[in-house]
Amino acid sequence: MGFKDTSMWPRLNGSSQLKQRPFMRRSCYSAKLNRRTPETNVRCFLSKHACVPCPPSLLLSLTTWQILFQFDDLIAGTDSSPAVVALDVVEEDVTRSRSVYYDQCRVVGWSGHPVCRKGFHFIIRASGSPTEGYQKCSVCGDMLQLWDSRCKSCNSVITADDLEDWVYLQLEDTTHLLHGVIHSNGYGHLLTLNGREGGSKVLSGCDIMNFWDRLCLTLAVRKVSVMDASKKYGLEYRLLHAITRGHPWYGDWGYEFGAGSYALTLDTYHEAVYALSSMPLSCFLYQGRKPRTRLQAVIEFYQSLSDSDLVTLKDLFSFLLRLIHETHKPRAASKKSTFSNPNISCAWTRNDVEGVEQAMFKVLLAATGNSSWVTRRALKGAMCKVASPKLLNYCLKYLGGKVASNGMIVQTRCNPSSDAIEFRLELLSCVPSVTGLDSNYPPREHIIRDLKFLYDSILHPQTMVHYRPQPTGELMANSAAKLLDCKQFVKDYKPDKMSVANPFTIHFWCHVELADELKDDLVVPPELIVLPSNATVADLKSEATKAFQEVYAIFKRFQTKELLDYGPLNDSMTQIFGWIKWISPSTM
């Protein structure tokens, strides 16, 4: 059951973006919050967009829905049909669930919250296929549709327990492209996110993250935590991204430091980021009279390729990541890439550059008799008396694809054995048809290999080289370890600041203070109550009682008693303003 009314779905900027219905548009955020509780928003969202794939009566604690999203710019299969991705939504009745408590709440510091009555899981499975709603028969192992009451192969009865087991397996599966859970009090957790490196065939990690972020905004979620275990090219991305961007990858969507292991704080996190990102590369390049190492060679190689000076670790790793990103683009787009910085003015005249190029052609021409390749380093060494090192680097950077006066063209390659860029002159007819600017740079696989080498040698605390002096090495190792230990990040969506002002309503954030001393260890988040401007104290008490009873399982018999700090108030009073605190004689 897909959505066929696609006329209402706006296209987002960028390629391969998930089609969004109007509730996902940024301009609709405030209008859609409607000053309702997150649970109410979820139910309205489901009633408008979802279908129920199996009868709710089959499950005691779980109810499932499904929503289909279609891509207009991505093709699935051989029939040229648009790709379709299924979002499964599972409502979990926590009071009947197999597990009442969430470890994620404890880790991020929300363990003091009372247990919520409901939890809503949002899942995009690995295949993203809307037809993957199958379970295995517990007797013969054949695949069954969720609503089958008997196995068609062995005729065994499919019980509610079998179906419930299958759904719980889905909740525990870590291969989903997306798995997030939102509690009925508006706090949630992003449990799993896998982009293309994690098995996604259609959606990138950014596509999925954009979708999740807008979904949370639409549902008026309060706070969402995530444990950052992201990897890029097999590396710990929370460390690599922090060095190059100053925050984790999830920070691009507003996730901030939530909790660190071993009493780490936000200040120590920022100090660790600064210590690593600002470390000068000169620490690795100057070794006195010691032989030149591979680490030095790799750093100097990429310094020679960059239009701007690579001075710090941040400069170096940012440049490599940009190269990898650009080489992944189609070749036509790569030729207009950011490899060349248009803001950098050339310090030499055209005659200076052409003179050096002609001298390089002569060196390469002398080597053509042996059909040998000339390494970049050897060519630069042969030209050391012709021009300055900076001019030589500039000319070498764009030498590939240049045509000599005799009609031969400069061909380049990256030697797989020595990891060196090499040049030679060849007849134009012998050169592959695809050549040009990007041939002056190593292939993507080579850059990724160098990135991993630099990461292990410079960043990872267990494999990094010995720094000189020793205190510098200790600082680097400790800083890297701190960033790796910081995995918990939280985004505060601040739904109270996104409510639409309405002169005919009054907003109250109600804080509860429990009279029952046994509940002193509870930390109850406030609930937003919205009433008409002529509401009475009795209306406020009634709505507050209802709100806390609906959200928390332990507040089934919750009753409000009085308004703290306001003295005795008549229930018929209508002029009520400000923040309200409630006291309850009993919560049970």
Query: What pLDDT, on a 0 to 100 scale, did the predictor assign at position 451?
Result: 96
The residue type found at 390 is K
- Residues 465 and 284: their CA atoms lie apart, in Å, by 9
CA separation for the pair 310, 316 (Å, rounded): 6
Give pLDDT, residue 283: 84
Is residue 228 within 8 A of residue 487, CB to CB? The reply is: yes
Does residue 283 contact residue 468 with C-beta atoms inside 8 Å?
yes
CA distance 203 to 318: 24
475: amino acid identity, one letter: L
For the four alpha carbons of 382, 384, 385 and 387, in that order, the dihedral sign comes to positive
Phi, psi of 333 (to 5 degrees): -75, -30
Show the low-confidence residues of the chain (pLDDT under 50).
1-35, 129-131, 331-345, 434-438, 578-588
What CA–CA distance (Å, rounded) separates 154 from 242?
55
Helix (H, G, I), strand (E, B) or coil at 68: strand
Q: Could you give phi then psi for residue 388, rounded to 5 degrees?
A: -70, 155
- In 524-579, DSSP assigns E strands to 527-532, 562-563
Judged by phi (left if over 0) then psi (alpha if -120 to 50, else beta), residue 361 lies in: alpha
Q: What is the pLDDT of residue 334?
A: 41
35: left (phi over 0), alpha (psi -120 to 50) or beta: left
Burial of 144 by CB count in 10 Å (0-12 exposed, 13-18 middle, 19+ buried)?
Answer: buried
| Nearest-angstrom CA–CA distance, 151 and 141 | 9
Q: Which residues pair with 88 in a beta bridge?
A: 66, 123
Residue whose token pair is 């209508």: 574
CA dihedral 158, 160, 165, 166 (to 10 degrees): 60
Strand order in the sheet with 409-414: 374-375, 421-426, 409-414
Q: What is the 3-state secondary structure (H, E, C) of 81-105?
A: EEEEEEEEEEEEEHHHCCCCCCHHH
Q: pTM for the complete prediction?
A: 0.80
H or E stretch covering 334: helix 331-334
* Cα dihedral 192→193→199→200 (10° resolution): 130
Q: For residues 327 and 309, what is the distance between their CA atoms, to the nearest angstrom?
A: 21
Q: What is the structure's pLDDT at 147?
A: 59
**Token pair of 57 as six digits:** 């009566």
How far apart CA 280 and CA 284 sit, in angstroms, is 8
CA distance 227 to 489: 6
What is the model's pLDDT at position 480?
94
Q: What is the DSSP string of 410-464?
A: EEEEE-TTT--EEEEEE-GGGS-S--SGGGGS--HHHHHHHHHHHIIIII-TTTP
CA distance 36 to 273: 39
From the list 16, 386, 3, 359, the residue with the least C-alpha distance to 205 is: 16
454 vs 244, 448, 458, 463, 494, CA distance in Å?
14, 10, 6, 10, 40
Pairing of strands 81-93, 374-375: unpaired
Q: Distance between CA 448 and CA 456 in Å, rounded?
A: 12
Positive/negative CA dihedral, 141, 143, 148, 154: negative
* Residues counted in the chain: 588
For the chain, list the domains and their CATH numbers.
6-229 (no CATH), 294-480 (no CATH), 501-584 (3.10.20)
3-state secondary structure of 225: strand
Beta bridge partners of 84: 70
Q: What is the pLDDT of residue 386?
A: 84
pLDDT for 402 equals: 87
The burial of 207, by beta-carbon neighbours within 10 Å (0-12 exposed, 13-18 middle, 19 or more buried), is given as buried
